[in-house]
Chains A and B, each alone.
Chain A
Amino acid sequence: MAVSEPRDVTAVTVGGAPATVEPTSPAGASGAPDAAPIRHRSEFLYFGLRNWKFLFGLSVVLVFLALALFGPLLTDHKPLEFTAPTDQPPSSEYWMGTTSYGQDVFAQFVYGLRSAFLVGVLGGGIAWVIGAAVGFTAGYRGGWLDDVLNMLTNVVLVIPTLAILIIVAAYLNVHGYASEAVLIGLTSWPWAARAVRAQTFSLKTREFVDVARLSGRSTPQIIAREIAPNMSSYLLMMFILLFGGAILIGASLDFLGLGPSESISLGLMMNNAFTSSALLLGSWWWFVPPGIGIIAIVGGLYVMNVGLDEVFNPRLREL
């Protein structure tokens, strides 16, 4: 098994495309594990506020988050109302133009951003919880439990996420973005579980874990107090990547028409534009914004992740 994981470097796949968690030794694992956590935090804050990649990614994501939260207040139009003139290019009244059905694209865009963030946070969050739970258990317990969980992880890892989502979503009518996010979360955790398992494996043999074990701490306590804090940076970056991946998968599902059809999402906007021949009509304002929104959020998250990696891993700082 170890052959396929040559180092504790984990090349991981996130939703639409391969991304990479850069070689990170769990923060603190290389230094003294009992160093005062407060000093660490301020050190990370110090480097974080000086890392332009982290700041850039974070601000892009925050700008779009603000747009998702407050954008609907900026427009009087409702995303699914057919009240506007049809096929208008962007104007002062309709900031991103209108669709062939007379809907306001800007209103659709800001509401679509809301569903993208919902799917990302919830789907990524569920995948994160499952991945961490499976990874910690398999890595710390070892033995037959590890074998079983490892097999489970590998099986879910090999099955293409979208294929399984297509078959599930085709039978189960997806009514809201929350249930779509749950489906995504349940299928996109395996690489996270593998990464956490590998890290736990290398941490559990350290002295401070032995000390905790000798002092009679229970397994959940050891995992929560000794192991998890020493890979908190890794866990944070894992969540960011799962977040971005969930948004991409959700957009594909919506584009296929398997998402909720009663409300609007960025993927559904592209679906509507495509099925209404926006390509042939040249109504670029209909399908360009949703893609830009997704690229900005997901790309922002990835860049933020690289920045965080440099913050947490001193070896990468001097680039």
Chain B
Amino acid sequence: MRLYLARKVLIYLVTFFVAVTIDWAIPRFMPGDPIQRLLSRMQTQPSGNEVLTSYYTKAFGLDVPIWKQYLNFWAALFHGDLGRSIADFPTTVTELIFGALPYTLALLVPAIILSFWAGNKLGALAARRKTLDNSVLPVSYVLTATPHMWLGMVLAWVFASTLAILPVSGAYGLAIQPSWSFEFVGSFLSHWILPFATLFLVACGGWAIGMRNMIIYELEADYSNYLSALGAPNKLVRRYAYRNALLPQITGLALALGAVVAGAIVVEIVFSYPGLGTLTLSAIQNRDYFLIQGIFLFLITGVLIANFIIDVAYVLVDPRTRVGMQGS
């Protein structure tokens, strides 16, 4: 178990190292001068160019040798210094990201957990049951092939524009200040439900398909046949099959994190939800490069932490990893 987790942590550390290096290298090694490219896109007045050039040279630390730039980048990172936003000038990138992070987490965490739970249950129910299978499976395939932003736009169009029962943008009503009052929580929930539903539905389809296939596979395994031959009720056999089928699904959860994060980014944009996705879009539109780089690092770190949590969960669920046996 120690070895298992240690190997995983090693991979995550290497990944983090690679991600930071990419983050550092991309502005420096892309063809052309990064500063001139930034300036040409910002369309400033000529008099401002000189000031900005010297600012960027300093900010990127381009006035020192390349190896020193790299070490400086790491040093700044460990001080939590990701630079300052260009569009939102004196605000630091870290402040902006921490302001947006709670909203993204409020969407992502429930969406990931609930879709995993519901999708797996649904898939397990559908497996080897003809009528249910014939309705669950096609719907799941449509859902899993749906682009997040499209489902978000359709839901917003139906529930917010046409039926006008739910708000279309933001995280809470404009007239309310964040507090723990009923009014605020109600407003927050009514804004939260549509982006959440979008993420939930798309992910749910994928889990249902995966679980359905796994259960069919498990029900053909020797232990299932043996149990049935002993006269165990169907329900019991299916319960054991479910437990075994859940293991690859947990591995799949780790693999799916990147896709869910990508989904959250575009869904937030559709609903103008003030999380990291909306921040990413404004950073892209404003060519706010430090902010883009900061968000990149945050997303990677978040995914790495989530991966680690899933690894721990896997150890808890699969006894074989605990006693040192290797699965399979």
Contacts and interface: CB of A to CB of B under 8 A. Distances in A.
A12 interface: yes
Nearest to A168: B26
Contacts of A1: 7
A3 B256 contact: no
Interface residues of A, number: 69
Interface string A277-291: 001101010011011
9 contacts: A6-B327, A17-B203, A18-B252, A159-B19, A171-B289, A251-B149, A288-B154, A291-B150, A294-B146
Q: Is the interface of A mostly helix, strand, loop or mixed?
A: helix
A161 B258 contact: yes
Contacts of A16: 144-148, 202, 259, 262-263
B207 interface: yes
The interface centre, meaning the residue of A170, A244, A302 with most chain B CB atoms within 10 A of its CB, is: A170
Interface string A1-45: 111111101011111111110110000000000000000000000
Interface in A287-301: 287-288, 290-291, 294-295, 298-299, 301
Q: Is the interface of B mostly helix, strand, loop or mixed?
A: helix
B98 interface: no
A162 interface: yes
A11 B248 contact: yes
Nearest to A251: B147
Query: Across chains A and B, which 5 residue pairs bring their CB atoms closest together, nearest first?
Result: A291-B150, A11-B252, A160-B258, A162-B262, A18-B206
Given A17-B259, A171-B34, A252-B149, A6 B247 contact: yes
Interface in B150-181: 150-151, 153-154, 156-157, 160-162, 168
Interface stretch (B57-65, B68-76, B208-216, B229-237): B208-216
Interface residues of B, number: 85
Interface in A115-152: 151
A287 to B, nearest CB: 5
A203 interface: no
B11 A160 contact: no
Contacts of B255: 11-13, 18, 157, 191
Contacts of A162: 258, 261-262, 265
